[in-house]
Copies of this chain bind each other. A is one copy, B any other.
Amino acid sequence: MSVPPPMPQPVPPTMPSSPQVIVEAVPNFSEGRRVEVVDAIADAIQAPGVHLLDRSSDWDHNRSVLTVAGAPEAVMEGLFRAVRAAALLINLFEHRGAHPRLGAADVVPLAPIQGITLAECAALATALGRRIGEELGLPVYLYEAAATRPERRNLTDVRRGEFERLVQEIHLPGRAPDFGPAQVGPAGAVVVGARPFLIAYNIYLRTTDVGIAKAIAKAIRESSGGLPAVKAIGLLVNGRAQVSINLVDFTRTPLHVVMDAVTELAAQAGTAVERSELIGLIPQDAMLQAAAHYLKLPGFNRLRVVENAVQAAGSE
């Protein structure tokens, strides 16, 4: 058996400097059935300089998710217009759907993509929340990195009891909005904040037994002692049991770890994973991480991808 001598490694190419500031927003709206309403909101969000990257609606959730990115000023203007359109077109007193919600424009998360920090995104979220409160007269709650109280960091806590209970409780001191009036109209409340890039990933099981999905969700979510940075609920969607997952920090728990855990738990429950779906977008690193794991490539890094290597080398 021969022993290889140490070989010199290539000098890592210089990383490109960020030529522009890009912020991402993934606003969720409580309408997934009336196409014309979602159209109107999608039209409103496309202020000059805002790129609509993805759009997805779910009938059972009765909810739509838009993904936009661009320069901060442009994205803030587009979000304000979209929240205004949703508030005019969606009546929460008539809304039914499988997904928890507080308002027409239910949650507006900002995430840093390039040339901007999470703290700077939190400052943008605060400014946007203030404008929504003052100009649209809607109650606004700030969450995650923009939260003003520790108990408002977690979206699940802010949304507890949903719209129906907020109508009854908004006058209580603990539910006082950060901006806007302490009263709830048909558009409900808006939750605005900043967070790291969130991967929304649903796994469908080969069963109609929603109990299995709920049990798996409970086993994997952080709040009940499962995997770090994982939120999960079990739902029945189109007659299929679905584990609906929000992975809030894929550097703490990679997507493939979630997938493998759900696969194993499903097998233990006598069923199997049928397929998955991504809501919105995913960072390249999360996909590379999964591919490297399954292809058994230890130490893989993004500069082994030819497009990334050429881009990085080109900036020297």
Contacts and interface: CB of A to CB of B under 8 A. Distances in A.
Given A59-B2, A284-B305, A295 B310 contact: no
Interface stretch (A47-55, A136-144, A172-180): A47-55
A4 B98 CA distance: 14
Nearest to A39: B8
Interface stretch (A78-86, A101-109, A274-282): A274-282
Contacts of A283: 305-307
Interface string A13-26: 10000000010100
A13 B51 contact: yes
A54 B256 CA distance: 27
Interface string A43-86: 00000000111111111100000010100000000000000000
Interface stretch (A155-163, A183-191, A214-222, A296-304): A296-304
Contacts of A225: none
B54 A1 contact: no
A2 B275 contact: no
Contacts of A57: 7
Given A4-B238, A7-B38, A294-B291, A310 B256 contact: no
A131 interface: no
Interface string A31-46: 0010100110000000
Interface residues of A, number: 71
A307 B307 CA distance: 12
A34 to B, nearest CB: 9
Contact of A309 (B13, B60, B69, B307): B69
A314 to B, nearest CB: 7
A211 interface: no
Contacts of A310: 22, 51, 53, 69, 113-114
26 contacts: A1-B239, A2-B59, A2-B238, A4-B58, A5-B59, A7-B38, A7-B56, A8-B35, A10-B52, A13-B53, A51-B309, A51-B310, A53-B303, A54-B309, A113-B307, A273-B296, A276-B297, A277-B297, A278-B300, A281-B309, A282-B305, A283-B307, A284-B307, A287-B291, A287-B292, A290-B290
Q: Which 8 A-B pairs have the closest CB atoms?
A: A51-B313, A4-B59, A291-B291, A294-B294, A290-B291, A1-B239, A287-B291, A281-B306
